[in-house]
Structure 1
Amino acid sequence: MKRLVLSGALSLGALLPLATQATTLTLPRLFSPGVVLQRDQPMRVWGWDTPGSRVKLGFDGRHVVVVADAQGRWDATLPAHPAGGPYALDVDDGHQHRRVGDVLVGDVWLCSGQSNMEFMVSEGRDAAAEEAKANDPSIRQFKIPHAASSAPLKRLQGGSWVAASPSTVGQFSAVCWFFARDMQVRTHVPQGLVNSSWGGSSIEAWTSARIGHVDVKALVASMRTATAAETAKLDRTRQRLARWPAQHGDVMDAAGKSAWAAAKLDESSWANIAVPAYWETVGYYDMDGIAWYRTQFTLSADEARHGVTLGLGEIDDSDRSYVNGRLIGQTERQWNLPRVYKVPAAALHAGSNTLAIRVDDLGDGGGIHGPASELYVQPQDGARRTLAGTWHFHPAAVTLVPTETREVTPTLLYNAMIHPLEGYPLRGVVWYQGEANALDGNRNALAYRDQFKALISSWRAAWKQPRLPFLWVQLANFKAGEDTADSSPWAELRESQSAALALPATGQAVTIDIGSTETIHPTDKQDVGHRLALVARHVVFGDKVVDAGPVFRAMRVDGAKAVLSFDTQGEALAVRGGGQTVRGFEMAGSDGHYLPAQARIHGATVVVWNTMLPHPTAVRYAWSEDPVDANLVDHVGLPAWPFRTTKPAAPMQMPR
């Protein structure tokens, strides 16, 4: 479901802020039953009322009185309070009374980012077992619904506090749930999770207009232009689909099988389509759902007798593939996985054979895509013959879904999903984002270096907490298909994330060993949450725990070998799986061209060499989007951080 386009339709009505003034006593949605307030910090509470109203607040025997300003807003600060509860927060203006019950005081974490942060417990590893044992009402989540605005909003558009239980925790952010579970074991206090995340979102969308240098008037104008362009594209797609006025899903034959998979079929009503290509790029813009592709390939009698291998390219998202009416393979929800299916002789015959593919697109890009080299028929012991070209195409059950790019449009999510939270006391921020920027290529991955630091600093300024703890997940391993011979956007974005450790009170959890080659959404969120909790214990609470694997410190050249030293927090270097041979290293000479290198642990160092490079100048480790071979760890199993010794990498900072 890779997003193809980073500009397009925007629902302007939903994005333009509305001017409102309270005439009744009103609290932000955060201050609702079940709220978790931050312990040991002054408790800031705010709201709205008729201008000039005297508002009295009471909490656990403490009281404060404030006056609503000319715009009707009031701000109050209650004394710092230790962990505990439940309590009640009472707010009264002499005419109206609001009581917020079931209030807990503990640690509050803002959990933000894109889909791997939004990814729910119900979608993860061992979901049923995790849900069954999640009966802990002292851990609570406030899920902020998706919202966007061209100007900062004062109020959230929705949300409520939900206590963890077997029936509710499935909807919690998995990363933040497992993080909070560990943190509660450490602190023995309630945990509040403010979940402000949006799948596919870019860092630009979470950055204020001022920090992101956004011209708001120009932004609104471009949104209007994009909406008009989107409407025109949708109209053209509707015109194409008009040739098939009735779409009822798969057409079945008398035997109850898919008729469009048959070896022989009247294809006169079918359209021609270029393969490989996302169907959005060849005339079917913003189309989601089910469509069929058909083509033919020719075999000799000998080739048919021995069976063949079919390469069907990358299919977004799911496929069922047939040869001569026989199902020869199917894959579910793997938008960027090349399909390679063995076809037995029983499904083949000499002469023309029919290939039919049912594609089910769940959103964003759809169809048969990827490099043309991935589309082929290969006889046993024979050369590949391409299947790329013009195929026949027929939608079966589709809908048109306008491309919404609010989540990648600068400042829109910040305005609607972060700005209304500003000032709500927090223990810290937990961040998992970056995939959208890495998928945008090398230039954007390097730009992230400054963008990420700016976001952290600006959020801290908004909360008036220059050392507000900010923790994040470094991008996990994944076969994104973005690597080239000269660059790796994912590795470069990881480096950009690590550069933010130069800021105080920051920390990162490295996950290059617990991602998934096949999916951008790995299901192991338990280990992610646990590693984040280790970082929080070190950075936030000062615990003497090992929270990071080996971190590169320095390189010296000894003849034809590079000798690397690391910070290990006192742990010995080790190899995952045992032994002394380390994989995942590359080495370059004066020409800057990297070659795979051999490496071994030697005491507290790693020695790296390549016999073809007598004068090494640079080394890099785990420098790819999916460094599955990288196996350097410490004795507690935490992975070494990816690095390169050449600029722009700077010495990494250990978590503080």
Structure 2
Amino acid sequence: MSVINRLLLRTATLSFTLFFIFKTQCYAQITLSKVFGDNMVLQRDMKIPVWGNSAPGAHITAELGGKQVTTKASQEGKWKVDFPKFKAGGPYTLKFYEKGKAGEAIEFNNVLIGDVWLASGQSNMEWQVQQAKDAENEIAKADYPNIHFLFVEHDKKLTPQTDISSGQWKVCDTANVRELSAVAYYFSRKIHQDQNVPIGIIQSTWGGTPVESWTSREKLLTSPITKAATLGNDTLTYDHFIADSLNSVRYWEIVYQPQNNTDQKIPEPEYDDSDWNGIEMPGVFRDIGMAGYNGMVWLRKKVMLPESFTRKDLTINLGHPEMNYSLYFNGTQICKNVWNANPTHHYTIPAKLVKNGENTISVRMAVLWGGGGLNPPADELYITDSVSRVSLEGTWLYKKDLEPALPEIQNYHYYPEVLFNAMINPLIPYGIKGFIWYQGEANAEAAYDYRTLFPMMIQDWRARWGQGDLPFLFVQLANFQAVKPQPSESDWAELREAQTMTLSLPNTGMACIIDIGEADDIHPRNKQEVGRRLALIANKLVYEENIIASGPQYKSFKVEGNKVRISFAHTGSGLATMDGKEVTGFAIAGEDKQFYWAKAEIDGDEVVVSSDKVKSPKAVRYAWADNPVCNLVNSEGLPAVPFRTDDRID
């Protein structure tokens, strides 16, 4: 950043600060936490806490729906009021003013009373409606004036904060819904429709983050798993955060904006790529020894198009490219995709750009975190005139390091406690109905520890909210990565097991989505079904509906000669397979602990498992893989929860 830009930034910051101070003084020094505002939803059927700051000792009056409460600010200028219980309804106006100064009241309008859910986790909870399945159609019909949501901006702090950095409640409509968590939106939509009450979503999410970053320091210090790493934060200062933030700005500047005028030179058909290397597409760069590479890579391919393609608009389909890329055709940019903002990756090539014969395709791609490439299947990589296709499968040329190297960043938001401090603690004690959570991918490499860390965080949040065992509903990891031909060990399966074990905590529920993941995308598109399954659990657990809300779950097993009989809970009116074919996904082992694929047959509410290779079975596993091929469901079509019996036998 130049000296001039820094001076401008400081001037703008000072101006904003003075404006904020002036505005605060105009309101008799009353301020409220930023979690409150126009369009907020407050929790029904409980005392409603509202808090803020004012002049020390000030007498504060608050009014809501004909109810009036008063309090006196502490010597530190802090105050809190509790409104009595309200039934669902609204809209109301919420007012605050200092004694004798009603004319200077702060007012919040369009306030609803309903059910408030805190949605948190990493990128699969953060994934936006506009990035998910059927985005444009869903956005077009998103008109729900009684669903409101609050975004908690990304922030990290070394100590617990009393307020979020910024936030604004918004009404769910076609303009605002695009950036809302898709899972939270589809969850709230179904709950709103089923329960007929206003729904508030507080979204506090950050992609790539482990459970430790969402847990308080005090709780982390109670476990030997996290104590040392948490104490390691004591060496950090905000200077570390600032320096890393500057590096992060430069990092993403390089990712998003072509450097060294590469976008002006490399896409041109006549560009000399004679010293570039070849890679087979579809494919990924990690498979050619670039698993540890982070940076920008350019791809080029010459393709011969028939004369019939000329004078026509064409469609190019890139299949499943990695998240951040730009596509060029004969030197002209066709698209720029940021974080898969386009859920499908086919684009129109204007007829004026198409040449008879040789044409040049160029792709600028961010290769990050072991990814990068044009993922399979091959039949989704092509150009078409809607009549015939020209495949883009085969050898592409690539070159890395044509742009500056990405600066090293520490990703301090992954560190223990820092997100709890900045993005969770400031929300307490806002009245809520419960939590929805989608996270775990970032903890898969230490999956066994998740057995401790995940319940620890849940208990931490519940204790701090002081609303008892608040409902905590979470999503189990989806199927992901390549299908393995033989039974094997799996970090993702072990993490799913840890999630299942967390159901031993009271008032918890888990949505199993082992059937709707995608092998080549850690962010599966079908968020509608994820939200629906979470809502089913809420309807049963929280709203006490008499429904089947989860798939079959392992209950017990019994050895019968060379077979094993597995019993399940949550079978509904019976077990079935989602595709009507034979049961798949079971493996069986004897004393040698060598697992083999098993024959499995449904017998009422049980499954009988066997293998000619295992005469004296000792253990059974189901869907135990990163990306298992499995098809057992109950009468509601909900998938059976992955499990293993290994830890349950002598």
Name the TM tier (shorter chain). 0.7 to 0.9
Matched, 1:582 2:583: yes
Residue 154 of structure 2 corresponds to which residue in structure 1? 146
Deviations 1:4-50 (A, max 9, x none): xxxxxxxxxxxxxx9x9997100011210001001111111111111
Q: Structure 2: any 5+ residue segments left out of the alignment?
A: 1-16, 222-226, 252-258, 278-284, 302-319, 328-336, 341-360, 376-394
Name the SS for the 1:210 alignment partner.
helix
Tell me which residue corresponds to 1:428: 434
User: Within 2, Cα distance between the matches of 1:573 and 1:105?
Assistant: 41
> Match for residue 491 of structure 1?
493
For residue 74 of structure 1, what is the aligned residue in structure 2?
79
Per-residue deviation at 1:540?
0.4
- Residue by residue over 1:512-568, the C-alpha shift from the partner in whole angstroms, topping out at 9 and shown as x without a partner, is 001111201111111111111110011101110110111111111111000111113
SS, match of residue 615 in structure 1: coil
Partner of 2:638: 638
Distance in 2, matches of 1:623 and 1:135, equals 41
Post-superposition offset of 1:406 = 2.8
Rate the CA distance shift 1:164–1:606 in 2: closer, same or farther, 3 A: same
Contact 1:482/1:489 (CA < 8 Å) preserved in 2?
Answer: no
**Equivalent residue, structure 1, for 2:262:** 248
Indicate which of 107, 123, 144 corresponds to 1:136: 144
8 Å contact kept, 2:93–2:111: yes
- Judge conservation of contact 2:487–2:587 (CA < 8 Å) in 1: no
Amino acid aligned to 2:296: G
Higher helix share: 2
1:206 and 2:214 are equivalent in the alignment: yes
CA distance in 2, matches of 1:43, 1:320: 49
In the alignment, the residues of structure 1 paired with residue 287 and residue 338 of structure 2 have an alpha-carbon distance, to the nearest angstrom, of 20
Alignment correspondent of 1:176: 184
Q: Retained in 1: the 8 A contact 2:297–2:400?
A: no
Mapped to 2, the partners of 1:148 and 1:252 lie a distance apart of 39
Q: CA deviation at 1:217?
A: 6.2
Task: State the alpha-carbon separation in 2 of the partners of residues 407 and 81 from structure 1.
Answer: 38
Determine if contact 1:288/1:364 at 8 Å carries over to the other structure.
no
2:193 paired with 1:188: no
Contact 1:598 1:610 in 2 (8 A): yes
- 3-state SS, counterpart of residue 213 of structure 2: helix
The alpha-carbon distance between structure 1 residues 87 and 258, as it changes in their structure 2 partners (threshold 3 A), is farther
CA RMSD of aligned residues (A): 3.9
Deviations 1:347-383 (A, max 9, x none): xxxxxxxxx996611655576899xxxxxxxxxxxxx
Q: Which amino acid aligns with 1:645?
A: T
TM-score by length of 2: 0.75
Structure 1: distance between partners of 2:95 and 2:241: 45
> 1:615 maps to what in 2?
616
Alpha-carbon spacing, 1:392–1:56, altered in 2? closer, same or farther (3 Å): closer
Quote the residue 1:475 is aligned against.
477
Tell me whether 1:261 sits opposite 2:289 in the alignment: no
Alpha-carbon distance between aligned partners in 1 of 2:649 and 2:61, rounded to the nearest angstrom: 54
Q: Which residue of 1 aligns with 2:235?
A: 221
Q: Measure how far apart 1:592 and its partner are.
A: 1.3
Q: Give the corresponding residue for 1:35.
A: 40
Deviation of 1:132 (Å): 1.0
Deviation at 1:620, TM superposition (A): 0.5
Which residue identity does 1:496 align to in structure 2?
A
The CA deviation at 1:396 is 3.3
Q: Given that residues 565 and 605 in structure 1 are in contact (C-alpha distance below 8 angstroms), is that contact kept between their aligned partners in structure 2?
A: yes
CA distance in 2 between counterparts of 1:316 and 1:623 reads 27
**Which residues in structure 2 correspond to 1:112-511 (within 5 Å)?**
112-213=120-221, 214=227, 218-222=232-236, 246-249=260-263, 251-252=265-266, 256-257=268-269, 259-262=271-274, 276-278=288-290, 288-291=295-298, 360-361=365-366, 363-364=368-369, 393-398=399-404, 400-438=406-444, 441=445, 444-479=446-481, 487-511=489-513
Specify the alignment match of 2:357 in structure 1.
none
Q: Are the aligned partners of 1:26 and 1:48 in contact in 2 as well (CA < 8 Å)?
A: yes
The change in CA–CA distance for 1:90 and 1:223 in structure 2 (over 3 A counts) is closer
2:473–2:509 contact (8 Å) kept in structure 1: yes
Structure 1 residues 292 and 640: alpha-carbon distance in aligned structure 2, compared to 1, 3 A threshold: closer
Cα gap change, 1:231/1:468 in structure 2, threshold over 3 Å: closer, same or farther?
closer
How far the C-alpha of 1:466 sits from its partner, in A, is 2.3
2:54 aligns with 49
- Normalization by structure 1: what TM-score? 0.74
Which consecutive unaligned segments of at least 5 residues does structure 1 have? 1-17, 238-244, 266-272, 282-286, 295-313, 322-330, 335-355, 371-386, 651-656
Q: Percent same amino acid at aligned positions?
A: 35
Q: Does structure 2 retain, via aligned residues, the 8 Å contact 1:292–1:396?
A: no
Looking at structure 1, the residues matched to 482 and 645 of structure 2 have their Cα atoms a distance apart, in angstroms, of: 24
Q: Check conservation: 2:487, 2:596, Cα contact below 8 A.
A: no
The one-letter code of the counterpart of 2:271 is: A
Residue 592 of structure 1 corresponds to: 593
1:549-601 CA-to-partner distances (Å, cap 9, x unmatched) read: 1111111111100011111353201111214x210000011111211111111
- 1:522 counterpart letter in structure 2: P
* Residue 561 (1) aligns with residue 596 (2): no
8 Å contact 2:486–2:597 — kept in the other structure?
no
Cα offset for 1:318? 7.3
Structure 2 counterpart of 1:167, one-letter code: A
Task: Please identify runs of 4+ aligned residues in structure 1 that moved more than 6 A.
Answer: 20-23, 223-234, 318-321, 331-334, 366-370, 480-485
| CA–CA distance in structure 1, aligned partners of residues 486 and 243 of structure 2 | 33
The one-letter code matched in structure 1 to 2:600 is: A
Question: Shift of residue 166 of structure 1?
Answer: 1.4
Deviation at 1:218, TM superposition (A): 3.4
Residue number in structure 2 paired with 1:384: none
Q: Is the 8 A contact 2:295 2:405 kept in 1?
A: yes
Residue by residue over 1:481-526, the C-alpha shift from the partner in whole angstroms, topping out at 9 and shown as x without a partner, is 9999752111111111111111111101100001111201111111
The aligned amino acid for 2:273 is: A
